[in-house]
Amino acid sequence: MQITGKFTTAVHILTCIEMFSSEMRVTSEFLSGSTGVNPVIVRNVLSQLKSAGIVSTRRGSGGAHLARSLSEITLYDVYKAVDCVDSEEGLFHFHENPNADCPVGRNIHRVMDGRLSGAQAALENELKKTALSEIVEDTKRIISEE
């Protein structure tokens, strides 16, 4: 089980856009330098965020900007935008071939599937409770304490 790094990269990108877009052009190269992620991956994440209506981008001198207010963007919105979890399989990857001749093997899905779906739903509900504005405010607070 693992949520891809695109989720935390996307949150980092959005936080940078908010923190720096008023003072400079926020480009994929700048975001790559801040995240430590290849610019091609940054552009891919920006494209996904743009498709979800979270950011707007303009080639050349425009840079990236938030398309919605911080308080309207939740961590769940980001999670869904960057497809960090396989939509068919879900958060938890179940081993491929449990042995049907084994009493545990033939029943483990029935025992675990509902629990794993519930765990994923709990995570997603928690992500819905946090707005990007909270992330930015916490980041600003921590920076001011340095």
CATH of the domain at 60: 1.10.10.10
- Is residue 89 in a domain? yes
Q: How many domains does the chain have?
A: 1
Residue 58 lies in a domain: yes
Give residue 71's domain range: 6-145
Which tokens hold the place of 13? 């990108």
pTM score > 0.85 for this model? yes
Residues β-bridged to residue 55: 66
Res 76: pLDDT: 96
112 in a structural domain? yes
pLDDT more than 90, % of the chain:
76
Model pLDDT for residues 58-100, shown as the tens digit of each residue: 776 678 999 999 999 999 999 999 987 766 667 887 777 889 9
With respect to residue 53, please indicate whether it lies within any of the assigned structural domains: yes
Kindly write down the DSSP assignment for every residue of 18-29, as one continuous string.
HHHTTTS---HH
**Is residue 1 assigned to a domain?**
no
Which residue type occupies 56? S
Distance of alpha carbon 136 from alpha carbon 115, whole angstroms: 33
Burial class (CB in 10 A: 0-12, 13-18, 19+), 71: exposed
